[in-house]
Chains A and B, each alone.
Chain A
Amino acid sequence: NAGVTQTPKFQVLKTGQSMTLQCAQDMNHEYMSWYRQDPGMGLRLIHYSVGAGITDQGEVPNGYNVSRSTTEDFPLRLLSAAPSQTSVYFCASSRSGRVTYEQYFGPGTRLTVT
């Protein structure tokens, strides 16, 4: 099993550009989520999904869109990048949204917006 994979590893964008961060898991997990990690702030939840076709907002959803058409994939879209979105982004998956189940994290995407 590859676990949770994320692409790209690094990305530099100019303000106003759009891009999609890819996340895939091969564990048949129902639950997937996106976090951003900023220095001194820990990780904050952006969006999450409890199954294909079902998504919801987390703590910091503004400026980001998600969709979940398959169990395996959960892409994160930035429609118009802003410098405030410079961060490290982590995707995670779990058997379900119940936090008693372990969440598995991908290796992250480091995004810089200039």
Chain B
Amino acid sequence: AQSVTQLDSQVPVFEEAPVELRCNYSSSVSVYLFWYVQYPNQGLQLLLKYLSGSTLVKGINGFEAEFNKSQTSFHLRKPSVHISDTAEYFCAVSETSSNTGKLIFGQGTTLQVKP
């Protein structure tokens, strides 16, 4: 079975500052990794995903994440945040062999960008 832990429930940061949202996972099998963003009163939108290859993955809106297999982590980073990045961010994993579409989500991290 897989599990995902997002280490911070809330991350306050000032506009134009860098940010890192932390995600650790546990799994006995190979996994794919995802970050989703949920803007207020909206559904989830895929930010980026790691399937294979380069461990540094770039996504939309200037976000990137690094897969670290030895530390079982997939932390999300942005060098300079904007007010519009205020949202809830979810890390998720799935077995590479899955054909059920099942994603295991973390608890979510609320990013609060202050002016």
Q: Which of A's residues lie within 8 Å of B, judged by CB?
A: 4, 31, 33, 40-45, 48, 50, 56, 58-59, 90, 92, 94, 96-100, 102-103, 105-108
Q: How far is the CB of A36 from chain B (nearest CB, A)?
A: 11
> Which B residues are CB-close (under 8 A) to A102?
46, 49
Q: Does B43 contact A (CB under 8 A)?
A: yes
Q: Is the CB of A99 within 8 A of B107?
A: no
Q: Is the CB of A96 within 8 A of B99?
A: yes
11 other A-B residue contacts (CB within 8 Å) besides A42-B4, A99-B98, A102-B49:
A33-B101, A45-B102, A92-B43, A96-B101, A97-B101, A98-B98, A98-B101, A99-B101, A103-B101, A105-B45, A108-B41
Q: Can you list the 7 inter-chain pairs with the closest CB atoms, starting with the nearest?
A: A42-B105, A105-B43, A99-B94, A97-B101, A105-B44, A97-B99, A43-B105
Q: Is the CB of A45 within 8 A of B43?
A: no
Residue in B41, B49, B92, B101 whose CB lies within 8 Å of A107: B41
A45 CA / B32 CA spacing, docked (Å): 17
Knowing A43-B90, A43-B105, the reply to whether A4 touches B98 (Cβ < 8 A) is no
Q: Does B54 contact A (CB under 8 A)?
A: no
A4 CA / B45 CA spacing, docked (Å): 12
Q: Is the CB of B99 within 8 A of A98?
A: yes
Residue in B45, B94, B101, B103 whose CB lies within 8 Å of A43: B103
Counting chain B residues whose Cβ lies within 8 A of the other chain, the interface size class is 20 to 34
A102 CA / B107 CA spacing, docked (Å): 20
Q: Is the CB of B102 within 8 A of A48?
A: yes
A59 CA / B106 CA spacing, docked (Å): 14
> Which B residues are CB-close (under 8 A) to A105?
43-45
A97 CA / B101 CA spacing, docked (Å): 4
Q: How far is the CB of A71 from chain B (nearest CB, A)?
A: 15
Q: Would you list 7 pairs from A and B whose C-beta atoms are within 8 A, ordered by A residue?
A: A42-B4, A42-B108, A97-B99, A97-B100, A99-B103, A100-B51, A102-B46
Chain B, range 56-115, C-beta contacts under 8 Å to A: 90, 92, 94, 98-103, 105-108
Q: Does B9 contact A (CB under 8 A)?
A: yes
Q: Does B42 contact A (CB under 8 A)?
A: yes
